[in-house]
Structure 1
Amino acid sequence: MPLGGDYQGGKIAYVLKSGDPGYDANTPHGLIAAPSDQGSGIPWAPIAPFAFLGTSDALGTGAANTKKIVDYYGDGNYAAKLCADLVLNGHDDWYLPSLAELNILYVNRFAIGGFDTNTNDIPNSYWSSTESDYTSAWFKFFNFGYQTTVTKYDSYRHNVRAIRSF
């Protein structure tokens, strides 16, 4: 299973290793990235109401984070909802990556392909499903790797890339 190879509706982004949650020595599991972005200029959440939903930054928690976000905010045009609603290549179990999962996408961005990594295009960031507090969430710049937080309703050039587990 080579990184970046086509598999189950997307590109192989990561294969779990011993010690990773969900690792099985007999059956490979990992992460699949959608082959392209689901949007640009997308907020993490609608403007209000804010809430701290208790999302996690750990590997293997993006799906649960996405569910918490969508259950709270409902319909709308925001990062987690775009991923949760995605039906791509016969698969409908896409989600917004946790911060750890987003970091994996960053490390393997060239093998996966299709990310906005232009060094002249600032910002070119991607949302995670991980909150910082009531009003902020984590994102990462894919041109130089810096990660930080911003208000959840900020949409200035924040990109969205869905993932799914296999």
Structure 2
Amino acid sequence: MEKLLRCRTIAFLLGITMFYTGCSEEEEDENPTINNNADAAIQTALNNGTSLEEILDSNSKTKLYGKTYEGGYIAYINESNRLVLICAAVDIADQVAFSDGGNFSLSASTSSNAGQGQSNTDKIIGELGSTGNVAALCNSFSTGGFSDWFLPSKTELGYFRSNVFKKELGNFPGGQTNAKYYWHSTIISCPEATQFVTGTQTCVSSANVRAARYSFY
């Protein structure tokens, strides 16, 4: 009984930065009501302007995944360099080719790592141009007061899938059973896309586009 009462305590001061669940992550996972209340408290704190740094002082970064923030959903946080990866709230294109020019070879190397999507996007635009390709489409995208979007790297797109889509968030067409392929900016032998239901990586002729942006705290 003492454990249950302790775990049911959800205390937070909105707009001031304090919120406390009073139980471990394992105990929260055993009780959906506690988990939902804690999630709501964190989202409310973000909405009220509480900084990520203050929230992370008393919560693991995974508690912020899927929360709405700065034009989209938090998909990943790197606490070493304080980078926040944000997944746009909606697709910006449906079933489009990677480039209007068809098949192409990219001379510049692109990275699969998190934190490299912007660099990859710049390289693709440098070779394919500022229009007519999905990197340029992301680069010109603007929503929620932000215009610094890019085509995510392979790993970043994976975070979209695991930390937003798998939580049934993000307005992904097709949902958990019929979700689409999505382009990423990591090009090896050909432009690849990730199938969001299975996680399969493959070269395809068309796919959807979901943009990313970075924030720092």
Normalised TM-score (structure 2): 0.63
Contact 1:9 1:34 in 2 (8 A): yes
* Residue-pair matches, total: 150
Identity of matched residues, %? 33
Q: Does 1:87 align with 2:149?
A: no
Query: Distance between the aligned counterparts of 2:155 and 2:76, measured in 1?
Result: 12
Deviation at 1:75, TM superposition (A): 3.8
CA RMSD of aligned residues (A): 2.0
In the alignment, the residues of structure 2 paired with residue 44 and residue 105 of structure 1 have an alpha-carbon distance, to the nearest angstrom, of 19
Residue aligning to 1:59: 114
Normalising by structure 1, we get a TM-score of: 0.81
3-state SS, counterpart of residue 203 of structure 2: strand
Q: CA deviation at 1:110?
A: 3.4
Partner of 2:123: 68
Relative to structure 2, which stretch is displaced further, 47-56 or 64-73?
Answer: 47-56
Contact 2:166/2:176, CA 8 A, preserved across alignment = no
Residue by residue over 1:1-28, the C-alpha shift from the partner in whole angstroms, topping out at 9 and shown as x without a partner, is 52222211111111114xxxxx23xxx4
Structure 1 unmatched ranges of 5 or more: 18-22
Cα pair 1:117 1:142 within 8 Å, conserved? no
Q: Which among 122, 126, 132 is matched to residue 188 of structure 2?
A: 132
Shift of 1:77: 3.5
What amino acid does structure 1 have at the position aligned with 2:109? G
> Could you say which structure has the greater relative contact order, defined with CA pairs below 8 angstroms and 6 or more residues apart?
1
Deviations along 1:50-100, whole A, 9 cap, x unmatched? Answer: 232311111111001101111211143421111000111111110000001
Q: Compare the two structures and name the one with the higher helix fraction.
A: 2
Distance 1:119 1:76, change over 3 A: same
**Aligned mates of 2:103, 2:192 — CA distance in 1:** 18
Q: Which runs of 5+ in 2 are unaligned?
A: 1-51, 53-63
Distance across 1 between alignment mates of 2:113 and 2:148: 19
Q: Which has the larger radius of gyration?
A: 2
Counterpart residue type for residue 172 of structure 2: F
Q: Quick one: distance in 2 between partners of 1:5 and 1:118? A: 18
Report the AA paired with residue 102 of structure 1: L
One-letter amino acid of the counterpart of residue 66, structure 1: T
SS of 2:118's partner is helix
